[in-house]
Chains A and B, each alone.
Chain A
Amino acid sequence: MMAFFVRRTIGAILVCIAVTFIVFIIFIVVPGGGRLGTAERIAGKNATTQNIINIEHEWGFDRPIYVQYWRMMKRMFNGTLVSYTSQQNVVTQIEEGIPATFSLAIGAGVIWLFFGILVGVFSAIKAGKLSDRVITVLALIGISMPVFWLGIVARYYLAEGGLTSIFPDGEYVPLTDNPLQWFWHLVLPWTVLAVLFIGFYGRVLRGNILDTKHEDYVRTAKSKGLSSRRIMRKHVLRTSLIPIVTLFGLDFAAVLGGGAILTETVFDLHGVGQYAAQSIGNFDLPPIMGVTMYGAFFIVWFSVLVDLFYAYLDPRIRPT
């Protein structure tokens, strides 16, 4: 177990480094992020040639690529990494976005896990009947809606400034400031983000349950005389939920890591995902590196956790 853990940790670190390397290449090798462009952009439109030369030197753009990469990584770990456009500390900016992103992730995660399981179990029990069909179509509609479009439509129909003014129109209110408003402002973003996953998880769970029902050991249990309910709970559900847990672990990690870019942007939550999208739009490499590293960290660590959990649940699997 220990060996597994150590090996995965090293793997995780290597993956994170590879991720930053790729991002660096994308924005340095592609023109516009190139050496001269960045110094000019920092210098502003009034720039004198001397100004640009000074900036290139101070920021290290005149050094070879691998030196620049090394310096940027060093600064990231020192916490001194600074954005090109705003000269703000990247780590501070990410920290400020974390409450919104975490609130979005946790709330939406709870909703989609709960309803996803509910939908999956219900439609599996009623498999083949009309209610199952209806739910399947609804779930599929949920998956088919682009999340940013749903957000725009939700804002138009349900938020202030639109047709009805039931909900506030975007923005994030910190939990510590006003718990009621925190909740109220997040209802629409949570729902919009969850809709996609509920449909998906519902269908996957339904498929798993139906598959498991046909397994031999379930048939044995039934022939032993166990009630359907009991079989469902103790045998079928447990096995069926395992892939759901895997999926949830990875999806949740992705949202925590700032992956809900579209939801955050449409609702103007100022979370880490929105910060990432803005930085990309500004060709601002330091925050992009910072956010990517932050996101990769979550995804990679959660996949380790999920593997461990898998091993715990299914004794046949030894973590290797």
Chain B
Amino acid sequence: MAERATETEFTLDAPAQSAAEEHGPAIQGRSPWYLAWRRLRKNYFAFFFLLLFLLIVVACALAPLYASHVAHTGPNENHILETVRVNGVPTDVVSPGGVINGKLTPSLPIGPTWFGAGGRFVLGADGPNGRDEAVRLLYGGRNSLIVGIGSSIFCVFFSVVLALLAGYFRGTTDFVITRFFDVMFAFPVVLLGIALGTALSISGFQHFGISIQAGSLWIPTIVISYVLIPYVGRPLRGQVLSLREKEFVEAAIAQGASPLRVMFSELLPNIASSVLVFFTLIIANNIVLEAALSFLGAGVQPPNPSWGTLISNGRDFIVTRPWLSLAPGIAIVLTVLSLNIFGDGLRDALDPRAKVKVEL
């Protein structure tokens, strides 16, 4: 079992342990993970927000159910010339607009019906195509979460690999990897993101034997994960480097353990808690970054909805139909807030005195 790298802590269990030692059965040792879990469980605040996040994920995953049973329409179906009965009153989904009876009239999509139309257009229609905004919000959430979580998985995976390689082998490997991080750091994140996103949005990625179509969700996923690798990789590398100096690692190497074994059995477990915390916080960051890229047209491509594209589409109607931009924004805030609060709680639980710094 890997030895914990931090000092022996004075926990509340200590008096119980010594008391039990005196006149009790043998004490069961608890792994640090179990202890962390117990601390986390007591943090009702963090747990509440974890549940909120999971609720959001489930709601978005159930988007097809909502679409077919509540809203009776898909995310891309246009309803431009249709009318719905809202509380008995027939209303145009998209009003005609133009010069009507000599007066200039705007063409407006229907506002939120709040279930007054039997589940259709609960948040209104997005103009001018007359698509159901609530359905798009859920499908958009699906895409945003897929890209957010997927890119975090890739990002953390590659960062860990690079951090382990750099920290273990040091020397030239470390030099090359650090230079790579330096160059990536020199780009403002959003700039590199939109540069890659825009460039890849034309024909997709058709190199090195891999072929990814331009409209695929893989493109923003790869772009975002790539762009954030140095921000996770560099702190992790720092941790691995300091771990490398510890005696237990030296001991393992002296015993003849292969590099792979050292990296996986000695180093990796000791950065695991940092990785976990990073992962949570990076998901939060990536969801916002995806929204930003999609807003600028360099992320998820139309007609696929995502929270960022919904905000961008709603901008034209911000004065008359503010919900079109407000709803996806609030969705992002709630999701990211939940992840941030949970991530905070997770960090506190894993090591209340850990000096994990997320340098974003």
Q: Do A and B share a direct contact in the complex (Cβ within 8 angstroms)?
A: yes
B337 is an interface residue with CB less than 8 A from chain A: yes
A47 is an interface residue with CB less than 8 A from chain B: no
Which residues of B are in contact with A by a Cβ distance under 8 Å?
A: 45, 179, 182-183, 185-191, 194-196, 198-200, 202-203, 207, 284, 288, 291-292, 295-298, 308, 311, 315, 318-319, 322, 325-326, 329, 332-333, 336-337, 340-341, 344, 353, 355, 357, 359-360
Within 8 A of B (CB), among A126-158: 133, 136-137, 140-141, 143-149, 152-153, 155-156
Q: How far is the CB of B292 from chain A (nearest CB, A)?
A: 6
A310 is an interface residue with CB less than 8 A from chain B: no
In Å, the complex CA distance between A162 and B320 comes to: 10
A-B contact count (CB 8 A): 141
Among A30, A153, A162, A291, contact of B200 (Cβ-Cβ < 8 Å): A30
Cβ-defined contact, A288 with B326, below 8 A: no
Nearest A-chain residue to B186, judged by Cβ: A296
* A141 and B333 in contact, given A30-B200, A149-B325, A156-B322 (Cβ under 8 angstroms): yes
Cβ-defined contact, A15 with B182, below 8 A: yes
Cβ-defined contact, B186 with A259, below 8 A: no
What residues of B have a CB within 8 angstroms of the CB of A141 in the complex?
Answer: 333, 337
Cβ-defined contact, A30 with B360, below 8 A: no
Nearest B-chain residue to A156, judged by Cβ: B318
In Å, the complex CA distance between A153 and B325 comes to: 8
Cβ-defined contact, B186 with A261, below 8 A: no
In Å, the complex CA distance between A280 and B292 comes to: 15
Among A26, A214, A243, contact of B357 (Cβ-Cβ < 8 Å): A243
What residues of A have a CB within 8 angstroms of the CB of B207 in the complex?
Answer: 29
Binds B, one of A17-25, A74-82, A91-99, A185-193: A17-25
* A140 and B341 in contact, given A152-B325, A156-B322 (Cβ under 8 angstroms): yes
* A295 and B191 in contact, given A140-B337, A156-B318 (Cβ under 8 angstroms): yes
* A149 and B195 in contact, given A16-B186, A140-B337, A144-B336 (Cβ under 8 angstroms): no
Mostly, the A contact residues are helix
Within 8 A of B (CB), among A59-96: none
Q: How far is the CB of B199 from chain A (nearest CB, A)?
A: 4
A183 is an interface residue with CB less than 8 A from chain B: no
Which residues of A are in contact with B by a Cβ distance under 8 Å?
A: 11, 15-16, 18-19, 22-23, 26-27, 29-33, 133, 136-137, 140-141, 143-149, 152-153, 155-156, 161-162, 200, 204, 211, 214, 243, 247, 254, 257-259, 261-262, 265, 273, 276-277, 280-281, 283, 288, 291-292, 295-296, 299-300, 303
What residues of A have a CB within 8 angstroms of the CB of B291 in the complex?
Answer: 146, 148-149
What residues of B have a CB within 8 angstroms of the CB of A211 in the complex?
Answer: 353, 355
In Å, the complex CA distance between A232 and B66 comes to: 55
In Å, the complex CA distance between A267 and B308 comes to: 17
Given contacts A211-B355, A259-B190, 17 further A-B contacts (CB under 8 A): A23-B195, A27-B195, A30-B200, A31-B203, A144-B340, A146-B311, A156-B322, A254-B188, A257-B188, A276-B191, A280-B194, A281-B296, A281-B297, A292-B187, A295-B191, A299-B185, A299-B188
Cβ-defined contact, A32 with B355, below 8 A: no
Cβ-defined contact, B333 with A300, below 8 A: no
In Å, the complex CA distance between A269 and B159 comes to: 36
Cβ-defined contact, B319 with A162, below 8 A: yes
In Å, the complex CA distance between A31 and B311 comes to: 29
What residues of A have a CB within 8 angstroms of the CB of B296 in the complex?
Answer: 261-262, 265, 277, 281
Nearest A-chain residue to B183, judged by Cβ: A18
What residues of A have a CB within 8 angstroms of the CB of B194 in the complex?
Answer: 261, 277, 280
